[in-house]
Structure 1
Amino acid sequence: MAEARLWIGTPYLHGAARRGAGCDCLGLVRGVWMALAGTEPEPVPAYPRHEARGGEVLCDAARRHLREIAPAEAGPGDLLLFRLRDGMAARHLGLLSGPPEAPRFIHAYEGHGVVESPLTPPWRRRIAAGFALTERIG
């Protein structure tokens, strides 16, 4: 979590993954991964800036490299994927940062950059999947 917190305040920049310069939600996770594990496990393809119908690209990529867990089992440092709209693919992600009694997550989104937010009921309802990121790179 120490590495992820270093990214707080990084401006939002679609497709980027540079601490302090700019990133999006995927870029935040990519940047933390590279800082802790070295290289990325696969090239990241270009993806649309706004939500579009299609397959579960983020979930499928996470399943190739991480162990999927029930979101309720996720702990600090684990990855959460979110559906921003019902019926759409998961298009947002963040790193769980708080304990179960006060859950929070670190994520990047347009207009705010990288922030640490409470995992409020509206965010919880949007969770699509959880992954044990900490056991892979922690």
Structure 2
Amino acid sequence: MSTASREEFVKEARSWIGTPYQHQGRIKGVACDCIGLVIGTARALGLTDYDIDGYGKRPDGNLRPVMESQLESVPLDAAQAADVVLFAWASHPLHVGILSDPSHVIHAYLPNRRVVENIIDERWRAQIVAAYHMPGVV
């Protein structure tokens, strides 16, 4: 397995900004979803060949267990740049993003219809339910 610095991981994730949103998309500049952004970033740096597919557009309760089986859980208050955060809406974990720093997240966000980098305001922070470290990021 390769390794990458936190800075390299964030730089690669930022290179996806502007990529149009498409459910289960995996191609930088063409289309991706939130999981596709995380997987694509990790693949570009040689950190994984794993993928998650076959998931629906609606919450089915599988996202959190899949995240926990592939990534290393970290306490929310210890999450750093390059860590992956899990968001929940109406108690359903259904969205992920990559922290670019403790106050910003890069994510493929359907309402924006593309990969964007947003500030994590109080509303967003209240929806973060878990944080994970990508194996190989040092």
Runs of 4+ in 1 over 4 A off after TM superposition: none
Alignment partners' CA distance in 1, 2:111 and 2:87: 18
Alignment partners' CA distance in 2, 1:36 and 1:137: 10
1:3 aligns with: 12
Per-residue CA distance 1:70-102 (angstroms, 9 max, x = gap):
11110000000000223x2x110000112x4xx
1:1-138 superposed matches below 5 A? 1-37=10-46, 39-41=48-50, 43-49=51-57, 51-52=58-59, 54-55=60-61, 57-86=62-91, 88=92, 90-98=93-101, 100=102, 103-112=103-112, 113-133=114-134, 135-138=135-138
C-alpha RMSD of matched pairs (Å): 1.6
Deviation at 1:39, TM superposition (A): 4.0
Q: In structure 1, list runs of 5 or more residues that go unmatched.
A: none
SS at match of 1:59: helix
Deviation at 1:65, TM superposition (A): 2.2
Alignment partners' CA distance in 2, 1:26 and 1:66: 13
Alignment partners' CA distance in 2, 1:109 and 1:46: 19
Deviation at 1:29, TM superposition (A): 0.5
Per-residue CA distance 1:2-56 (angstroms, 9 max, x = gap):
1001000001111111100010111100100110125423x4231112x33x32x
Asked if structure 2 preserves the Cα contact closer than 8 Å seen for 1:12 and 1:111, the reply is no
Partner amino acid for 1:122? Answer: R
Q: How many residue pairs get matched? A: 128
Q: In structure 2, list runs of 5 or more residues that go unmatched.
A: 1-9
Larger strand fraction of residues: 2
Percent of pairs with identical residues: 35
Alignment partners' CA distance in 1, 2:104 and 2:75: 17
